[in-house]
Structure 1
Amino acid sequence: MLSRRGFIKSGGLALFGVGLMGGIPGFIAEVAASVKNTPIYKKKKTLVCIFQRGAMDGLMAVTPFTDQYLKAARPTLFMSAAKAGSGQSLIDLDGKFGLHPSMKAFEPMFRDKRLAIVHGIGSPNNTRSHFAAQDYMESGTPFNKGTASGWLNRAVGLLGHDAMTPFTAVSITSALPRSLYGDNPSVAINNLDDFTIQMRGNQQGASMAAKSFEDLYDQTSSGLLKDTGKESFDAMKMLQKTDVKNYRPANGVVYPNTALGNSLKQIAQLIKMDVGLEVAFAESNGWDTHFNQGTDTGIFARNVADLSNSMMAFWNDLETHQDDVTIMTMTEFGRTVHQNGTGGTDHGRASCNFILSNNIAGGMVYGDVKPMSAENLEDGRDLPVTTDFRSVFSNIADKQLLISNNKVLFPDWNGTPLNLMRA
């Protein structure tokens, strides 16, 4: 039985993309329609996180191309920054690291010092299980399986606002990601075009009929309006009355017609609507490249092209909102230094990540990547983790969201944040 108190405490109203017919229940639409359609939330700073699920090969995305050990370890996968043959060459970033040619959309941002790359990043837990590594990274506690909340949900709790909007923390996914589990309001929206209403955290919400809401509303309508506040219904009305299906990105931007491109397009819409979005989450899948990884063409090239092109479409679409947004990627671990017998790479340790922001100290590849001789590799096979992911995530969250309690954000960590963001 869902109590009124439980309904209010669970975050009031939330949107969940489950594709049910009927859209917003009539009683909610009535209440929303009675509220003036005015922009009630002032513009917020927003952190957008993209999880690359499957473990991206950081050594191919950003290659230390002068390393002869790496070249020997990857006889058919190694790429050079030298112009030779018919294939594309790496984009030389600094004389040591080369950006994969399919990520050429990133090059202007790197040169303009608005893109930073952290190499050798990963978890101190050496598991090579996708499920476990993702869980540890999203919980932010790499040696504690019992952590109930995700680090982004804890970040929401540290924002210090008197009241949250229904859109403070949004994941454009079919289900709430581990990063946003917890007691603080957060919501998954599969598609802005087709949504229904559900309480955040209610495991049976996807199958809950509108009648259940109506029954609850009949009993608690006045209190519900009082406790959830006018702002919730204003935000509902904003989304309901916006023609999201026919959204036109700014500057003639064309997003890739991919899952990630469509997710970032919807996040851009929410940012521009000024509905109070502060934490956004999206996913990019297909990074588990055990077979036929390819070089300048193939699975990996398509993935990094989608990542960089989607992020840059989103960035260019933001226009005047760029100063308020930081985008950060993450992946559970990297790939082996040596290629395998099927033209791919297996589960490894460290990878790299990308941070795009007008406030980042960009134009640099951060991290400690030593020559990949056997004695410098973890277990004789992997790029070792030299930058704990928490040292990056904490700095980005602290500076972008103006929070400063790393004991809550990453409770078992006593490290030092990597100084990436400008004051």
Structure 2
Amino acid sequence: MPITRRIFLKNSALALVSTAVVPAFLTRAVYADALPPGKKRLVVIFQRGAADGLNIVVPHGESNYYAMRPSINIPQHDVIDLDGLFGLHPSLASFKPIWDAKHFAIVHAAGSPDPTRSHFDAQDFMESGTPGYKGTEDGWLNRALHTNDPHMKDEHFRAVALGPSLPRILAGHETAIAVNNVKQFGVAGNNPNAAPVANSFESMYATSADTVLHGTGQETFDAVKMLKDADPSKYQPSAGANYPRGRFGDALKQTAQLIKANLGVQVAFTDIGGWDHHVNEGSTQGQIANVLREFGQSISAFWTDLGDLQEETVVVTMSEFGRTARENGNRGTDHGHANVMFVLGGPVRGGRVYGQWPGLAAHQLYEGRDLALTTDFRRVLGEAVYTHLGNRDLNTVFPNYQNSPKGFLGLLG
């Protein structure tokens, strides 16, 4: 069987091996209904491209919003009202039941305090967890695992990214693995129609003089063996969960597969692009409506699919920065500052918009053009790491940032 892609990333003992067909040994098992008690999970989703938080969670109770966005605002009668001031874009209607059940919380005017308007730099800062400093080699989500549950250190799927390569956020000393496609993760295995490359492939790494690469190769084969009791080719989502077609929906569906396969997933990461709307952003229809529909329906399906595992799972969303408060001359928005973050899960104290709202009057805007930042993203993530994952060493996870329970927003019970 030909191997179509091989990606080796040394910095996190990761190996991704994609193959042309599904290994035969992945056709045998049944998914576990639930993980053993105490297996807390954190799923992080990155909205790449700088999402327009003002058109996602709309401050429809503030007249300045409508004055600054004459052609791309979300009309008040279309907004899904939450509390009289804020409401959801109509494409996020699938979130409303989770909000009503108080498992979905919003943090507005949140993000990175660094003033950069560079996508690359801002994403790097939010994934490293060190805004303004480019010398950090590892990611905060990897560091979050450093002192957390030492008995899980041998779990090869403890930290997993759904994508073709390991993202910045999971780079580091703790074992992490990237899976581009659950169905194609592995080697020839027992497929009678496949070329007998598995043994020779594994032998190549067993004899490698590069100990880091050797370890990386072994990590892959150990991980493949862990999937032998899973059946990704026949997986059916639970409770009628309906994932939309597309990369993001597939990534969350596969995240649910790995979680429910009882492989010890503790943190997971994926991302979704398509948020950089400088031209013709749209309103209730158009570019932002389309990507929000995919975003919302995918997360809602994932939530439904988890079933009882919702109680042990927290999902956090983030984007590198927001958009300008005023629309531009092309009926779009340009690179801004503060944004909105979502937090949902069983332990979440939802049904509430957290954070201090700075307002959209001219004198309240950051640099006279953007939503001002009132909640540092590390405050939100720090609470998830400390309260949910149980890692108390926040100074290591987010160095040079004063982060303690006294400053938490109270998002998690």
Selected match of 1:105 from 83, 94, 105: 94
Write the distance in 1 (CA, Å) between the matches of 2:12 and 2:351: 40
SS in structure 1 at match of 2:145: helix
The 3 A distance-change label for structure 1 pair 78 and 231 is closer
Q: Which residue matches 1:337?
A: 325
Identity %: 41
Matched, 1:352 2:340: yes
Q: Which residue matches 2:299?
A: 311
The 3 A distance-change label for structure 1 pair 78 and 157 is same
The 3 A distance-change label for structure 1 pair 90 and 22 is closer
Q: Which residue matches 2:5?
A: none
Q: Which residue matches 1:386?
A: 374
State how 1:99-138 maps to structure 2 within 5 Å: 99-138=88-127
1:42 CA displacement: 4.0
Q: Which runs of 4+ in 1 moved over 6 A?
A: 9-12, 36-39, 230-234
Write the distance in 2 (CA, Å) between the matches of 1:210 and 1:384: 57
Whether the 8 Å contact between 1:165 and 1:232 is mirrored in structure 2 is no
Selected match of 1:80 from 46, 57, 75: 75
Write the distance in 1 (CA, Å) between the matches of 2:412 and 2:304: 21
Whether the 8 Å contact between 1:235 and 1:275 is mirrored in structure 2 is no
Q: Which residue matches 2:161?
A: 171
Q: Which residue matches 1:61?
A: 56
Q: Which residue matches 1:293?
A: 281
SS in structure 2 at match of 1:66: coil
Q: Which residue matches 1:140?
A: 129
Q: Which residue matches 2:139?
A: 150
The 3 A distance-change label for structure 1 pair 219 and 92 is closer
TM-score norm. by structure 2 comes to 0.85
1:368 CA displacement: 1.7
Question: How large is the RMSD of aligned CA atoms in angstroms?
Answer: 3.1
What is the letter of the counterpart of residue 227 of structure 2? Answer: L
Selected match of 2:268 from 263, 277, 280: 280
State how 1:233-272 maps to structure 2 within 5 Å: 236-272=224-260
Q: Which residue matches 2:41?
A: 46
Whether the 8 Å contact between 2:12 and 2:172 is mirrored in structure 1 is no
Q: Which residue matches 2:394?
A: 406
SS in structure 1 at match of 2:44: strand
Whether the 8 Å contact between 1:333 and 1:348 is mirrored in structure 2 is yes
Deviation string, structure 1 residues 319-365 (Cα, Å, up to 9, x no partner)? 12111111110100000000011111000001101111111111111
Whether the 8 Å contact between 2:110 and 2:376 is mirrored in structure 1 is yes
Deviation string, structure 1 residues 95-122 (Cα, Å, up to 9, x no partner)? 0001101100001111111100000001
Selected match of 1:193 from 183, 202, 226: 183
Selected match of 1:183 from 173, 177, 181: 173
1:20 CA displacement: 3.6
Write the distance in 2 (CA, Å) between the matches of 1:219 and 1:348: 48
Write the distance in 1 (CA, Å) between the matches of 2:299 and 2:129: 24
Write the distance in 1 (CA, Å) between the matches of 2:293 and 2:221: 39
SS in structure 1 at match of 2:160: strand
Whether the 8 Å contact between 2:275 and 2:291 is mirrored in structure 1 is yes
1:80 CA displacement: 3.0
Q: Which residue matches 2:18?
A: 19
Write the distance in 1 (CA, Å) between the matches of 2:120 and 2:267: 23
Write the distance in 1 (CA, Å) between the matches of 2:205 and 2:22: 18
Whether the 8 Å contact between 1:396 and 1:420 is mirrored in structure 2 is no
SS in structure 1 at match of 2:182: coil
TM-score norm. by structure 1 comes to 0.83
Matched, 1:323 2:311: yes
The 3 A distance-change label for structure 1 pair 22 and 93 is closer
Whether the 8 Å contact between 1:15 and 1:189 is mirrored in structure 2 is no
Whether the 8 Å contact between 1:52 and 1:285 is mirrored in structure 2 is yes
Whether the 8 Å contact between 1:15 and 1:195 is mirrored in structure 2 is no
Write the distance in 2 (CA, Å) between the matches of 1:219 and 1:391: 43
State how 1:207-218 maps to structure 2 within 5 Å: 211=200, 213-217=202-206
Write the distance in 2 (CA, Å) between the matches of 1:294 and 1:147: 37
Would you say how many aligned residue pairs link Structure 1 and Structure 2?
Answer: 384
Deviation string, structure 1 residues 139-185 (Cα, Å, up to 9, x no partner)? 00002100001000001212131332110000001111110011110
Write the distance in 2 (CA, Å) between the matches of 1:411 and 1:371: 30
SS in structure 2 at match of 1:326: strand
The 3 A distance-change label for structure 1 pair 108 and 209 is same
